[in-house]
Amino acid sequence: MVTGLLDGARELSIYTAYNTNVDAIVYLTGETVQRLIDEFGAEAVKRRMEEYPRQIEEPIDFVARLVHALKTGKPMAVPLVNEELHAWFDSHFRYDVERMGGQAGIIANLLANLDFRRVLVYTPHLARKQATMFVDRPNLFYPVVGDGKLVFRHPREAYREGDPIKVNRIFEFRAGTTFKLGDETITVPFSGRFIVSARFESIRVYTEPELKPFLPEIGEMVDGAILSGYQGIKLRYSDGKDANHYLREAKRDILLLKREKDVKVHLEFASIQNRELRKKVIYNLFPLVDSVGMDESEIAYVLNALGYPKLSDRIFTYNRIEDTVLGGKILIDEMNLEVLQIHTIYYIMYITHADNPLSEDELRSSLELATTLAAARASLGEIISPEDFRVGLSVPYNERGEYVKLRFEEAKRKLRTREYRVVIIPTRLVKNPVSTVGLGDTISAGAFTSYLALLRKKGAL
């Protein structure tokens, strides 16, 4: 069933934008972490951990947030705002891998390697090094305007000299890694990653003015669009532009994509530390899209911005399924979403309204494809052909799978869900993943495209 569903999804054409970057990956060891703590002193690190810096302005901010992530075993992303720290990072770490990063870039390569009919990828910044990180596949295209016409080239043939490039540094950590913070011995409880995400003025989220008039034409060519990268917008820029300007343009982009055909649009949400900016992104963009994907910490952030601080705190503190379901119901109602997809380490969930064209079994099969695809990526590090998907089928569901199902049934009994379709499945969890980078993007891309394939099969797309 799931393999057949992937075959159906591969018949689709998908547009994805905006964020691409270079991921510089470091596989952390206990010795590396210990060296960083010793450089600044355990007491100084503890003090900065208590202050919990929201962005990285100096090296100790990085060390404090890294140690906090390792202690909790939770994946985290913190923005780097001081461009001068590039040299400090480069002098302190040897990068084990440099590869495609950014949700749009990761999803474009994934879908191209899965042999989707056509994958159109757009990023406003395409430096030569960035372009070489796109896979060399004949179904992958970048839109270019030439002589007043829309043409498509492979990204490797469309780069522009002098375009800025964004480097995100990703620190992969493994469960069981140990180090000392003063008198305390810390053992990392779960595998994950800590992302230092570059947030500089030179990197912006927009569609170039000459391409914008052709967005309706692109919308007609595709079955769905996956948009991401809004977490890179800044509140204010030195040239006088601000978040409102870029969000107005983002809204126009979505409306233009949908102008000639009501193409389904999925927004992949990522953590936005600034509450004001988070609120702007939610209220401006969520009502215009059909589908949103996020993890459990991101739904807590969203609920906080929407005015539900107590529920948000409960999700952060207790991580109970019933609170996540309640939060999801609020979100699809207030933002009028067709479908909300929430992915966590132990389960993936869909929440839709009861009039959704897909049955619970069909929604469940979509999630099954998503977790199987992510398990294949975690096992192999990268998916390079449709056959790689089968690797995920042999990965077992996580050890909390039965507990997840039990708690979900309890949640449904406690909450009124008759007006909704709420579906949950345990994740297939790789014990020692080759990499965890891009797993959330893989889940969301797999879920959204299989959702579209099922709608098309029913004549609802």
Catalytic residues: 441
Q: Is 7 exposed, middle or buried (0-12, 13-18, 19+ CB in 10 A)?
A: exposed
Residue 450 CB neighbours (<10 A): 25
Q: For residue 441, what are its two tokens?
A: 């993007």
First vs last Cα of the chain: how many Å apart? 20
Q: How far is Cα 100 from Cα 169, in angstroms, rounded to an integer?
A: 12
DSSP 283: H
Residues 6+ apart with CB under 8 A from 99: 22, 23, 25, 133
Q: How far is Cα 265 from Cα 341, in angstroms, rounded to an integer?
A: 13
Q: Rounding to the nearest 10 degrees, give the CA dihedral for residues 299, 305, 309, 314.
A: 10
With H, G, I as helix, E, B as strand and everything else as coil, classify residue 337.
coil
Residue 63 near residue 45 (C-beta atoms within 8 A): yes
Residue 454 near residue 366 (C-beta atoms within 8 A): yes
Q: How far is Cα 101 from Cα 120, in angstroms, rounded to an integer?
A: 17
Residues 6+ apart with CB under 8 A from 103: 19, 226, 228, 229, 268, 270, 441
Q: How far is Cα 85 from Cα 238, in angstroms, rounded to an integer?
A: 20
Q: How far is Cα 426 from Cα 422, in angstroms, rounded to an integer?
A: 14
With H, G, I as helix, E, B as strand and everything else as coil, classify residue 16.
strand
Q: How far is Cα 297 from Cα 273, in angstroms, rounded to an integer?
A: 11
